[in-house]
Each structure stands twice: as C-alpha cells, then as structure tokens.
C-alpha cells in the first residue's frame, strides 16, 4: 500500500493548492462515517472529517475557502491534509439521512433556500458565474433539529447552469414513484415550493421539468459508466459497481413516473405562487 507520508511532511506546502495547508499527524481514534456512494474510508477524528484525496481536491479546497469568505456557513471548512495525505474538513454536527424519504414542505423550502445561498456564495469564484454542487440530494445535507442546514460532499462541484442543481433538488427531495412518498399532485406542489424558495425566474420555472428529465438521464449515464468500470469511484467504493444495475433500473422507473405525471408538475409550476421569496430571482 502506498504511504502518502513521504509526500506530505509537517509544515510543507501541498502542491497545486495555491496556498499553505496544515499538515498534522493522523490519529488512532477514527470513527468510520457511512453513507457515501463514491468514497470509501471516510472517518471522523475529533472535530475533523478525513478522506482520501480525489482529482477534485484542489478545486474543492479553494472553492470552500471562497464561499466561507463570502459569508456562507452551510458547508465544512477545508483544513488541509494529515500526515497520511488525507483531505481534512471541519466536522459539522448534525445528522445525515441514510436514504431519500418523504420530506415535509418546510424541509423542501429549506433545501431550496440553502441551495440559493450556496449558488450566491460561489459567484465570482475563478471568474465563474456559479459553481453547482451537482449532487445536492438529502444524502449530502446535514440536518439539525430535523432541518437541512448545510451541504457536504463536493466531488462533483463544477461550473454549471443553476437550474441543474434546482432540478436535482426537485427530484431528490420531492419526487418519487414509491406509494409512501405521496400522490403526484402533492409532490408537484413541493417542486413549486423549491422553485419559489430558490427564487427561480418564471422563464426558468417553465423549463424545470425538462431539467429534471435531464438529471435523470445523467444519473443513468453515470451509473452505466460505473457498471462498465469506467469511473474511478468504482475502484474506490466497492459497493458502487455491485449496485449500478439496480440504480439504473430504479432511475428509469423514476423517469417513467415523471413522464406519466408531467401534466401535474407542469400545472404546479405554471401557477402563480403565494410563497414569499427571499431575495431577487437569480435571472432577473
């Protein structure tokens, strides 16, 4: 097994980060953290979370520094690397839901507002208009007192169209073909609440349903790549490839559900909302 300590000595500058980072000793009292789909071996050590670096480590380190300087407190801080080369982040107290489930209206409004705050905080990073999370599901949120207050896991963060993230939140927090997730008209009302809470402009609300379909298509493509062994996370997380075909089948079922109830979602997004939007629409 490769020993990263030969590359990361205490007090040294980590190449590619553009700034000095803290290098500390690894600790023995490590508590494994579960829930990640891609990265195995994530642990808690005291008030830190540690995980193996990824190709996006440098980008994420700088991005988290940028959003914190912008006043955004809804994500961990990047703290450098320990003496075995793992990325370290501040530990955020709270809970992570083990799987997607039915959320109430207050939850989905909080998710929409948290997403908008994230996008606003990323503006101007490296000259980009916005950096999307690209995986803002409930499994990547920290819940305190039952409400989402922070995002975690930024492996897929990259410049993008904000509606991509809004669509992912609408799908993952509001929509499901499972009978215990409620009828389609109620789900459609929650999708509208997400759009309202985010402050999505009318013209973008009208293309949100198509954006949800696009997120479902991307999920299929991502897991097809995992099944084929052409994604690095396959080797990193041993369960990913085993689950790939199951996730593809489930996603296609979700696609059929959204298509079959398209009229309900379109009608909800077309109606004038009485929800009080915080701030101005992203696209004015």
Give the model confidence (pLDDT) of 94-140 as tens digits.
999 988 999 999 999 999 999 999 999 999 999 999 999 999 999 99
Query: Are 139 and 260 found together in one domain?
Result: yes
Among 37, 61, 90, give the residue marking a domain's end: 90
Q: Which residues contact 5 (CB under 8 A, 6 or more apart)?
A: 83, 84, 85
Q: What is the pLDDT of residue 282?
A: 40
Whether 62 is covered by a domain: the verdict is: yes
Give the residue numbers spanning the domain of 216: 111-270
Q: What is the pLDDT of residue 27?
A: 53
What are 9's two structure tokens? 């000595």
List the CATH number of the domain containing 238.
3.90.1200
Query: Are 81 and 20 found together in one domain?
Result: yes
Whether 101 is covered by a domain: the verdict is: no
Distance CA 189, CA 221 (A): 28
Q: What is the pLDDT of residue 17?
A: 38
What is the value of pTM for the model shown? Answer: 0.84
Sequence-separated contacts (24+) of 198-202 with Cβ below 8 Å: 198/112, 198/113, 198/115, 198/116, 198/166, 198/169, 198/282, 199/116, 199/277, 199/278, 199/279, 199/280, 199/281, 199/282, 200/163, 200/166, 200/281, 200/282, 200/283, 201/281, 201/282, 201/283, 201/284
Query: Are 54 and 141 found together in one domain?
Result: no
| Number of domains the chain is built from | 2
Q: What is the pLDDT of residue 39?
A: 65
**Four-CA torsion 61, 66, 68, 69, nearest 10 degrees:** 140
Whether 105 is covered by a domain: the verdict is: no
Whether 140 is covered by a domain: the verdict is: yes
Cα end-to-end distance, the chain, whole Å: 53
Among 38, 55, 90, give the residue marking a domain's end: 90
Query: Are 12 and 130 found together in one domain?
Result: no
Phi, psi torsion values for 63, nearest 5 degrees? -65, -45
Distance CA 103, CA 146 (A): 10
Whether 215 is covered by a domain: the verdict is: yes
The answer to whether the beta carbons of residues 237 and 33 sit under 8 Å apart is no
Query: Are 259 and 118 found together in one domain?
Result: yes
Query: Are 74 and 206 found together in one domain?
Result: no
Q: What is the DSSP string of the chain?
A: ---GGGT--TTPPPTTSSS---EE---S--EE----SS----EEETTEEEE---TTHHHHHHHHHHHHHTT--SSPPEEEEETT--EEEE---SB--SS-----HHHHHHHHHHHHHHHHHHTTGGG-S-EE-S---GGGEEEETTEEEEE---TT-EE--HHHHHHHHHHHHH---SGGG--HHHHHHHHHHHHHHHT--HHHHTTHHHHHHHHHHHHHHHHHHHHTT-STHHHHSHHHHHHHHHHHHHHHHHHHHHHHTHHHHHHHHHSPP-S--SS--S--
What are 211's two structure tokens? 């954006």
Whether 28 is covered by a domain: the verdict is: yes
Query: Are 233 and 153 found together in one domain?
Result: yes
Positions in the chain whose pLDDT score sits under 70: 1-28, 34-40, 230-241, 272-284
Whether 150 is covered by a domain: the verdict is: yes
Query: Are 190 and 259 found together in one domain?
Result: yes
Among 40, 59, 90, give the residue marking a domain's end: 90
Any bridge partners for residue 151, and if so which?
141
Query: Are 131 and 198 found together in one domain?
Result: yes
Whether 228 is covered by a domain: the verdict is: yes
Q: What is the pLDDT of residue 283?
A: 36
Any bridge partners for residue 78, and if so which?
89
Query: Are 174 and 240 found together in one domain?
Result: yes
Query: Are 158 and 220 found together in one domain?
Result: yes
Query: Are 224 and 83 found together in one domain?
Result: no
β-pairing, 43-45 vs 31-32, is antiparallel
Distance CA 49, CA 45 (A): 6
Q: What is the pLDDT of residue 164?
A: 98
């Amino acid at each position: 097994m490769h020993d990263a300590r030969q590359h990361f000595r205490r007090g040294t500058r980590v190449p590619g980060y553009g700034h000095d980072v803290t290098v500390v000793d690894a600790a023995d009292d490590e508590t494994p953290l579960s829930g990640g789909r891609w990265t195995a071996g994530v642990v808690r050590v005291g008030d830190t979370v540690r995980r193996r670096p990824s190709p996006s480590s440098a980008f994420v380190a700088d991005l988290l520094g940028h959003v914190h300087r912008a006043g955004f407190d809804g994500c961990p801080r990047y703290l450098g690397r320990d003496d075995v080369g793992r990325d370290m982040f501040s530990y955020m107290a709270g809970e992570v839901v083990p799987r997607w489930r039915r959320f109430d209206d207050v939850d989905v409004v909080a998710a929409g507002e948290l997403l908008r705050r994230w996008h606003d905080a990323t503006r101007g990073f490296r000259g980009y208009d916005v950096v999307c999370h690209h995986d803002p599901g409930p499994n990547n949120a920290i819940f305190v007192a039952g409400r989402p207050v922070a995002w975690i896991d930024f492996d897929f963060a990259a410049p993008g169209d904000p509606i991509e993230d809004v669509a992912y939140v609408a799908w993952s927090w509001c929509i499901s073909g499972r009978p215990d997730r409620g009828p389609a008209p109620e789900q459609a009302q929650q999708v509208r609440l997400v759009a309202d809470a985010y402050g999505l402009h009318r013209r973008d609300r009208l293309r949100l349903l198509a954006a949800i379909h696009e997120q479902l298509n991307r999920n299929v493509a991502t897991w097809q790549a995992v099944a084929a062994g052409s994604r690095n996370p396959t080797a990193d997380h041993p369960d990913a490839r085993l689950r790939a075909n199951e996730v593809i089948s489930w996603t296609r079922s979700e696609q059929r559900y959204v298509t079959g109830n398209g009229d309900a979602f379109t009608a909800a997004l077309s109606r004038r909302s009485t929800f009080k939007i915080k701030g101005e629409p992203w696209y004015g």
